Structure 1
Amino acid sequence: MKKITAVIPIRKGSQRVVDKNLRPFAGTNLLTIKIEKLKEVKGIDEIIVNTDSEQAIEIAQKMGVSFHRREDYYASSKCTGSEFFEHLGQVTDTDVFAYCPVTSPFIKTETMETAIHRFYGEEEFDCISTVSVIKEFMWLDGKAINYNPLNAPNSQNLPDIEALNFGFTLINRNDLIRYRNIIGKKPKFVRTTDIESIDIDTPLDFFIAEQIYIKTVIEDKSLLD
Structure 2
Amino acid sequence: MPKTIAMIPARMGSQRLIKKNLRELDGVPLITRAIRKCKSAACFDEIWVNSEDKEFASIAAQEDVGFHNRPQELGDNNTTSEQFVTEFLSHHDCEYIFQVHSITPLLTTDEVVAFTNAFVTSGHDVMLSAIPDQIEVAYKGQPVNFTFDEKTNSQDLTPVHRVTWSITGWKRNAFLEAVAKGKCATYSGSIGFFPVNSMAGHAIKTEVDLSIAQAYLNVMKAR
> TM-score scaled by structure 2?
0.84
Given candidates 195, 204, 211, the residue that maps to 1:200 is 204
Unaligned runs of 5+ residues in structure 2 are 179-183
Q: Do the aligned partners of 1:85 and 1:176 also contact (CA within 8 Å) in 2?
A: no
- Provide the secondary structure at the position in 2 that maps to 1:61: helix
Do structure 1's residue 132 and structure 2's residue 131 form an aligned pair?
yes
CA shift for structure 1 position 198 = 2.8
In structure 2, which of residues 192, 195, 210 is the aligned counterpart of residue 191 of structure 1? 195
Aligned partners of 1:204, 1:159: CA distance in 2, in Å? 32
Query: Could you tell me how far apart the structure 2 residues matched to 1:92 and 1:210 are?
Result: 35
2:97 counterpart letter in structure 1: F
Larger deviation, residues 174-183 vs 164-173: 174-183
Correspondence for 1:61: 61
**Aligned-pair distance for 1:199?**
2.9
Q: Which residue number in structure 2 is paired with residue 10 of structure 1?
A: 10
TM-score by length of 1: 0.83
In structure 2, the CA distance between the partners of 1:160 and 1:110, relative to structure 1 (3 Å rule), is same
What does residue 117 of structure 1 align with?
Answer: 117
RMSD: 2.4
Q: Determine helix, strand or coil for the equivalent of 1:86.
A: helix
Q: Indicate the SS of the match to 2:61.
A: helix
Identity %: 24
Query: How far 1:182 moved relative to its partner?
Result: 4.0
SS in 2 for 1:171: strand
Q: Contact conserved, 2:5 with 2:44, CA < 8 A, in 1?
A: yes
Structure 1's unaligned 5+ residue stretches are none
Comparing 164-173 and 58-67, the one that deviates more: 164-173
**Partner SS, residue 121 of structure 1:** helix
Give 1:60 deviation, angstroms: 0.8
Residue equivalent to 2:160 = 161
Matched-pair contact (CA < 8 Å) for 1:131–1:162:
yes
**Residues 116 and 80 of structure 1: is their aligned pair in 2 closer, same or farther, counting only changes over 3 Å?**
closer
Deviations 1:58-106 (CA, angstroms, capped at 9, x unpaired):
2111111110112111111332343233223223332211111102212
